[in-house]
Structure 1
Amino acid sequence: MPPDEASAAVVELPPRGEGPQADRPIQRHLEQDWPRDLPAAQEQQLRAWGARLLRADATGAGRERFPQVFGRRPPRLVAPAFSRVRIQAAIARRAPGGGAHRAVVHLVWAGTDRGGTTLDARVTDLYFQQPKGTDRWTALPLPP
């Protein structure tokens, strides 16, 4: 392939701080660099669960949906670590070394921390497993 064609195929990442208009190029970049290895419906389901889990972890809202991650204690007031959370891009792929029953959801997101600083291009990987014989995915505990 001539050099011009090769460079045209590369997705350029926008600079930090570009806001929502950067989301689409980041999504294209993830999809280009990590080819899909899950059925589209499974990937869509995992991306949605990953986004919900990230928001629950970052903001404290919705943690009751993930008792395997946050415990089964009654919900209490949690001072959110972040607000204005926006998922910029997300993909779900088979987890390395996890076989057919483990997946990783790779999220790029933006949010405002407690100090009022808004940053984009934050990266989080969340892991899910699918018990054999079921079609349901379960979130694995977050790393410490």
Structure 2
Amino acid sequence: MSRSGPVLPPHGEGVSGDRAIQQSLERAWPADLASADEKQLCALGTSLLRADATGIGRADWPVFFGERRQAVAPAFAVARFRIQAVIARRGGAVGRAVVHLVWAGADRGGTYTDGRVTDLHFTRTVTRKGAKWIPQPQH
């Protein structure tokens, strides 16, 4: 860590730079959710982003993608998609959270870019079966 802040790996560093990105996110935004909630939200956010970017698993997210039954061409190649870092934090109000993801991928044209940033918002719903985090559609 330098005096001006954490040192991030240069773009294109690959998997070896992901740990530094994860540590930088964790230092920049200290944890403020219960550990179990953060772990669950990180898994949900990762799954949702993967479904959005690659098209795989969209049926698991009808609230987010709707009930579309037609095939949608994926924006990113499955084989060249990876999450570089992910954290979940409170979303400003009780029962809200934001999952902050840094990721890398190759688009349909073959252009590979790392350091892409996506924020996914969730609200907590409590039912008789327990609490559940629900993704909020992006506007």
Q: Output the TM-score relative to the length of structure 1.
A: 0.88
Partner residue in 1 for 2:76:
82
Q: Return the structure number with greater strand share.
A: 2
Contact 2:126 2:132 in 1 (8 A): no
Q: Does 1:73 align with 2:68?
A: yes
Residue 122 of structure 2 is aligned to residue 128 of structure 1: yes
Residue number in structure 2 paired with 1:116: 110
Q: Which of the two has greater helix per residue?
A: 1
Aligned AA for 1:116? G
| Structure 2 unpaired stretches of 5+ | none
Amino acid in the other structure paired with 2:108: R
Q: How much has 1:100 moved relative to structure 2? A: 2.1
Partner in structure 2 of residue 103 of structure 1? 97
Q: Deviations over 1:101-138 (max 9, x none)?
A: 00000000000001101100000000000024542100
- Report the Cα offset of residue 21 of structure 1: 0.6
1:42 aligns with 2:24: no
Choose 1 or 2 for highest CA Rg.
1
Q: Does 1:64 align with 2:59?
A: yes
Is the CA contact 1:106–1:123 (under 8 Å) kept in the aligned structure 2? yes
Contact 1:20–1:88 (Cα < 8 Å) also in 2: yes
C-alpha contact 1:101 1:132 (8 A) present in aligned 2: no
**d(CA) in 2 for partners of 1:95, 1:81:** 27
- The reply on whether 1:32 has 2:56 as its aligned counterpart is no
CA distance in 2, matches of 1:137, 1:126: 12
- Which of 89, 94, 102 in structure 1 is aligned with 2:90? 94
Instruction: State the 4+ residue runs in structure 1 displaced beyond 6 angstroms.
Output: none
Structure-2-length-normalised TM-score: 0.91
Distance (whole Å) between structure 2 residues aligned to residue 114 and residue 21 of structure 1: 25
Aligned length: 135
Q: Which runs of 5+ in 1 are unaligned?
A: none
